[in-house]
A and B are shown apart, each in its own frame.
Chain A
Amino acid sequence: MTDTLQQNLVEIHDMSFYRGTRPIYKNMNLTVPKGKVTAIMGPSGIGKTTLLRLIGGQLKPQAGQILFDGEDVPSMTRSRLYEVRKRMSMLFQSGALFTDLSVFDNVAYPLREHLNLPEPVLHNLVLMKLQSVGLRGAANMMPSELSGGMARRAALARAIALDPDLIMFDEPFAGQDPISMGVIVKLIAELNQSLGLTCIVVSHDVNEVLSIADYAYIVAEQHIIAGGTSQELRHNDDLRVKQFLDGLADGPVPFHYPAVDYKLDLSRGVN
């Protein structure tokens, strides 16, 4: 057990989560090894972002354990949770930059809140973070002046400001042009390799995410339906996995949303 805890930064055991009476996850099990990039893929609306919020303690599951470095996140006290969150970070789909602060001040925000650094040191530290995402030249720009890709990179600089152990990326490639997508793929890979950061990447951009993931899970039907390296997933015989990875319009996930019989529905209009 101790060995497992040392190897895995995040472990989810038999976790169930409901929104009202609708189950999102039922007896979910998942592990995220330290220093690796773990991808979580699945169709839209399946609850991937919810999973990140559960790991971050923003939501509480109805059952099961979510361990972060051996500590159960849902049962933490509020103050302990805030302590633990200093070691984790999340890149939101929208970037979630503070719109009334410049890019520089956005990156400086967590540093100013948590560390009492002299202003010259803080200044250099922020510039180093911005340099690592290629946005040192945009330090004085406001979030409204940034493109979608730049906003996400600025948010990434803010996410790594406190040098966390874990970064969770929520759909980092969504809505990005190929260049921005390539830049983000490169940044995630570099952060993982150079700083040894543990990364969880939630995405449905199969090719991009599998190109950097050490291990990937596919979520469907309220639990993990497949897990493995990109090669293992590509050779998985499960029809649901094949449909997702190959992007097939019809399959176990049907093209048509469940409805009453078509003829019956049409005849109602006639009558």
Chain B
Amino acid sequence: MLNLIAKLGQSTINIIAMLGRSGLMLFGALIGKPQFSKQFPLLVKQFYFVGVQSLSIIIVSGLFIGMVLALQGYFILTTFGAEASLGMLVALALLRELGPVVAGLLFAGRAGSALTAEIGLMKATEQLSSMEMMAIDPLRRIIAPRFWAGFFCMPFLTAIFVAVGILGGVLVGVDWKGIDAGFFWSSIQSNVDWWHDLGNCFIKSFAFAIASTWIALFNGYDCVPTSEGISRATTNTVVYSSLVILGLDFILTALMFSN
């Protein structure tokens, strides 16, 4: 019993220490005098790796999720004769929940794991240490551009995911099932609120971007610099990011949409 309490205490201390280290990492990366001439090219490069290279998975997933959503929605709505509301159903489901959450999960799986593995390998091959010994702060040169790239790319990826998802809904609802295009689009136009739906979608997206990028970067930076350590860190990134995104989604949804 005493051992169990001791283990629980140790785990709590470890978690608090880990949170402290991750906070210090982010603080060290983001706080300081900006050096635009040196940091901007690094940021552009990371936009490409984090954002552009995630586009294909986002577009394909968005398309299929939109199509499935429309198909399921159509089956249910036709039983009530309400298939004209299919556009609203697809748009609201994507904007409020599926867009930010699924884009976040895909981002964690594609870009997050890549960030962790890259930084972990840089640590294992002593590239981060060599940078420190060259009097170059790896937090500013390695962590900061990747964090900002994740922060700015995720909302864009979410927007693309939602847009492609709606187009997937159009393909199924309008082109396949023959719902009138005017009904489809007007139901979206009249029921989607700029702030309540679109604004909250982006707020969620920014929150998920911060959480998943932070987790990915910290797992790489703090990993045990061995092949097993990097493998574990990469897995942790996907698992922790997914859980945090889903947990945060519930909290944000409760705050945003409950009266």
Q: Which chain A residues have a beta carbon within 8 Å of chain B's beta carbons?
A: 53, 56, 58, 82-83, 85-86, 88-90, 92-94, 96-99, 109-110, 113-114, 155, 158, 162
> Which of A58, A83, A99, A110 is in CB contact (< 8 Å) with B134?
A110
Check A90–B136 contact: CB distance below 8 A.
no
Check B133–A56 contact: CB distance below 8 A.
yes
Check A94–B137 contact: CB distance below 8 A.
no
Given contacts A82-B137, A113-B38, contact A92 B126 (CB under 8 A): yes
In the complex, what residues of B have CB within 8 A of residue A56's CB? 132-133
What's the Cα separation between A56 and B127 when bound, in Å?
A: 15
Check A94–B133 contact: CB distance below 8 A.
no
Which chain A residue shows the least CB distance to B133? A90
Tell me whether chain A's interface is mostly helix, strand or loop, or mixed.
mixed
How many residues on the B side are at the interface (Cβ–Cβ under 8 A)? Answer: 12
Check A58–B133 contact: CB distance below 8 A.
yes
In the complex, what residues of A have CB within 8 A of residue B235's CB? none
In the complex, what residues of B have CB within 8 A of residue A114's CB? 135
Check B136–A58 contact: CB distance below 8 A.
no
> Which of B38, B127, B135, B137 is in CB contact (< 8 Å) with A96?
B127
What's the Cα separation between A85 and B132 when bound, in Å?
A: 8
Which chain A residue shows the least CB distance to B121? A99
What's the Cα separation between A109 and B38 when bound, in Å?
A: 11
Q: List 5 A-B contacts (CB under 8 A).
A: A58-B132, A85-B133, A96-B129, A97-B127, A110-B134
What's the Cα separation between A53 and B129 when bound, in Å?
A: 9
Check A96–B126 contact: CB distance below 8 A.
yes
How close is A37's CB to chain B, nearest CB, in angstroms? 19
Which chain B residue shows the least CB distance to A53? B129
Q: Does B11 contact A (CB under 8 A)?
A: no
Q: Does B227 contact A (CB under 8 A)?
A: no
Q: Does B191 contact A (CB under 8 A)?
A: no
In the complex, what residues of B have CB within 8 A of residue A90's CB? 129-130, 133
In the complex, what residues of B have CB within 8 A of residue A58's CB? 129, 132-133
Which chain A residue shows the least CB distance to B28? A78
In the complex, what residues of A have CB within 8 A of residue B129's CB? 53, 58, 90, 92, 96
Which chain A residue shows the least CB distance to B35? A113
What's the Cα separation between A191 and B126 when bound, in Å?
A: 24
